[in-house]
Structure 1
């Protein structure tokens, strides 16, 4: 198979061809032959985009699959131009031991979704590292599920066993959360100082235990200088940002939409939102990761936090490029290359993130001249809604290739 069009990488763009055999890219260049698929000048071809922070809600107990499962999450991802995801471990049956992790892997394989899933293992009070390499997630304070720490000292003790591991942190200080638990609104119950305090502690833990650290769904501008200073000293830390913290802020909240607009961490100020856009642009933030949290609308109205974002990933990227003046090369970094670098140690023989010989033949094609208005009827996520309903993005997903097969 030969694909032709405008190829995008972090180093530039150019019209070229990709030759694919089976599930691999075998050659990139000009005059490779007659194209099987040729995309117009309005389209940009990226190495398949990856979302390294989702909640598929699927485990061996299947108690939450009414919200989502591996196959419906896969369908939503393809709808949004995403070709691989990393699934979080805060399941009712959490993957925290060799046995429980392997059970979740077998359950995933039984589902046989179209796209690739990388699975995080959970870190909780008293857990120990698995006997094989996986990415880990630590919840510093209460979130959805029971896998979290009640004190930072408890987290420190547990992390002492994980020296050198790849650990992602949900940065909210559990003590400060408890102090604000009776505040009037969700945003006041999880104020910025909870994230800033937890950021300081997470950076200390990453440095103390030589972790490969990642801060999840970053949202507070005040914490960005801490991250930059730590990096300047060689601390190995990367950071995510979500579509909702880039697009919405507290000025968008109304009495009518508060349920749908509740997440952990919550929406911040306009200035925080602008700081996240600037930090994604300058490279302080490394990944566009959705924190895809598919709860039903009834659950959101009852106070369950989280929004579904897989279906709208690619369309949102066109908003970043066309309306927020990000370059396609920047998008290639935080949507394709950096997520690929994150999962590649765990997905061999697959290899995501670049349009180069030897990489997996998964591609995301965006049409920058085909606007899309987000409608509930077009969502593939099982929970069946989007916070972007009624919003028109300036471009859309044109096509998706997964491991050498055109799936959209």
Structure 2
């Protein structure tokens, strides 16, 4: 059955003004857009009255962890995609650091089949660069692409050997797929849980230095220049990395980058002295100067997109304390409200800017046909109540992971409906729809 979404608020990209429109959805696509003054014939159609709420292309998250296979006690493809839908995301790209690692065609197929059977949003898996993410032997890139992998990454660890990374880039370039890099020099980070900064000094802790990330960023930009690959930098967190990416782009290297909400909103100076491991993530929260550099990098286009790096863990794991708990925080269900409240309501960003960095820009970078409200585009849509204020309550998350530093924060701008390929998959009122 076709659907009409009536009285939805649309942001004009140039003026920022909002106007109400009606959207007709048929065969999984946006088939018509009418002005608010027009009266559509809704007979025989399902009708959704948006009541003036914002309509956006569904959010696209190109860096997530669904944990399955192997870590189902943290998250499953089912629970992770449900959480994504509640956060307004319609397309997500899971990382391969599962068990087994997504380094073989059968594992890629497992993820895709599981997502088709139990997921509620679109899942586009990455495959590993090296077997078991050990950095010793390249995976079969061609077979992984044929199985459905959209790119190659050893996320969770950095590829330490430069020749291995160069070979990977050359092979990926020959196949027309990107290399997505977790940038971290292992020799500089062993035994550290937080950045070199105020918190580490106050507590006498070994810190993770900025150069541990930036060294790999600089190395890989040079290798990308040589091989011609599309090189994408994961979760940028330092001023030095932003500077290097900006330089790479200025000389024509095909380098793109992403940043996470927590690296735009929090610094190491915000970490509580309680040593709460919900504030432990990798890359770690950096200094206020690094935060500002990342914000400016996103604003000037050096950083192309926002991702969540959604990384759920069990409560028992996070209870081990800052030194022993695993890195990572929940991301899906707080991302848009957090950034809308912090940057749009304060006037630093326009609403259109935030929406583009979460929709059209990731689609552009990875060549995806999503992130649009155009007639003929896939009907991946999110309705958002910009005026709704709500407290972050981890107990209400659909994810199995409750690990967030934002518990208790009062935020505005909460998704209320998510549609994928013309089907409503989640509503605030009724929850998940399968």
Query: TM-score, with normalisation over the residues of structure 1?
Result: 0.88
Q: Which has the larger displacement, 385-394 or 265-274?
A: 385-394
User: Hey, what's the Cα distance between the residues in 1 that align with 2:13 and 2:219?
Assistant: 32
Change in CA separation of 1:154 and 1:393 when aligned onto 2, cut-off 3 Å = same
User: Hey, what's the Cα distance between the residues in 2 that align with 1:327 and 1:106?
Assistant: 39
What's the secondary structure of 2:257's corresponding residue? strand
Deviations 1:32-67 (A, max 9, x none): 6057233344x32111111111000012xxx31111
Change in CA separation of 1:150 and 1:385 when aligned onto 2, cut-off 3 Å = closer
Correspondent of 1:316 among 316, 338, 343? 338
- Per the alignment, residue 119 of structure 2 pairs with 113
Runs (4 or more) in structure 1 with deviation over 4 Å come to: 9-13, 182-189, 342-345
Are positions 1:329 and 2:344 aligned together? Answer: no
- Per the alignment, residue 68 of structure 2 pairs with 58
Q: Is the 8 A contact 1:318 1:396 kept in 2?
A: no
Are positions 1:356 and 2:361 aligned together? Answer: no
Number of positions where the alignment pairs a residue of Structure 1 with one of Structure 2: 390
Following superposition, the deviation at residue 368 of structure 1 comes to 1.6
Unaligned regions of 5+ residues in structure 1, if any?
Answer: 346-350
Q: Is the 8 A contact 1:374 1:388 kept in 2?
A: yes
- Per the alignment, residue 260 of structure 1 pairs with 278
What's the secondary structure of 1:291's corresponding residue? coil
Query: TM-score, with normalisation over the residues of structure 2?
Result: 0.83
- Per the alignment, residue 348 of structure 1 pairs with none
Q: Which has the larger displacement, 378-387 or 116-125?
A: 378-387
Change in CA separation of 1:182 and 1:355 when aligned onto 2, cut-off 3 Å = closer
- Per the alignment, residue 16 of structure 1 pairs with 21
Correspondent of 2:154 among 134, 139, 151? 139
What's the secondary structure of 2:345's corresponding residue? helix
Unaligned regions of 5+ residues in structure 2, if any?
Answer: 131-135, 197-205, 428-434
What's the secondary structure of 1:369's corresponding residue? strand
Q: Is the 8 A contact 1:7 1:46 kept in 2?
A: yes
Flag the structure with more relative contact order, 1 or 2, with Cα contacts below 8 A and sequence separation at least 6: 1
What's the secondary structure of 2:221's corresponding residue? helix
- What are the residue-to-residue correspondences of 1:26-37 with 2, within 5 Å? 26-30=31-35, 31=38, 33=40, 36-37=47-48
What's the secondary structure of 1:398's corresponding residue? strand
User: Hey, what's the Cα distance between the residues in 2 that align with 1:180 and 1:93?
Assistant: 25
Change in CA separation of 1:116 and 1:221 when aligned onto 2, cut-off 3 Å = same
- What are the residue-to-residue correspondences of 1:179-328 with 2, within 5 Å? 179-182=188-191, 187=196, 188-300=206-318, 301=320, 302-319=324-341, 320-323=343-346, 325-328=348-351
Following superposition, the deviation at residue 217 of structure 1 comes to 0.6
User: Hey, what's the Cα distance between the residues in 2 that align with 1:97 and 1:374?
Assistant: 38
Please tell me the root mean square deviation across aligned C-alpha atoms, in Å: 2.3
Deviations 1:307-343 (A, max 9, x none): 0111112312422321352111112211111222345
Q: Is the 8 A contact 1:287 1:338 kept in 2?
A: yes
